[in-house]
Amino acid sequence: MNIVQKISRWGDSHHPRWLDILRIVVGLVIFAKGISFVNDRDAVADLIRQTNFQLSIWSAVHYVVFAHLVGGLFIVFGFQTRLAVIFQIPILFGAVFFVNITNGFNFLNSEFWISLSILILLLVFLVVGSGKYSLDHIMDKPGYKRSI
């Protein structure tokens, strides 16, 4: 058994129920941020321009919006949570260290603190997984037949 499987098994066996509620809240926050990005794509493009991103701005905007919408729903429902978190981490890393840090570490920069806390929680869910109240847990039960 490799280290990733050991971490996954440990996370699945040490998952309190309140962490499922926190996972759902984090997924809803990410999904809501994705909806706000859909409503104001130009603001997202400006944020990505601040990071001096070298690839196409619009491809990055579409990646961020798609990852937030789909990944947020995956995290809420607990479906492939670790995979959804892996797609979210680069976005939040960029938000914390390249976009929001330009405003400083003061307490008035609430967007920085929200982004930092969501990034930390995503790292937690990368280790502990989705929990008992999730689609992953339901689909891993014996007798469940996947038709996909």
The structure tokens 């759902």 sit at 24
Q: Is residue 83 within 8 Å of 71, Cβ to Cβ?
A: no
Task: State both tokens at 130.
Answer: 């989705």
pTM of the model: 0.80
pLDDT (tens place) for every residue of the chain, 148 residues total: 677 677 667 766 767 788 889 999 999 999 999 998 888 877 777 777 766 666 677 777 788 889 999 999 999 999 999 999 999 999 999 888 877 777 666 677 788 888 899 999 999 999 888 888 888 888 876 766 666 5
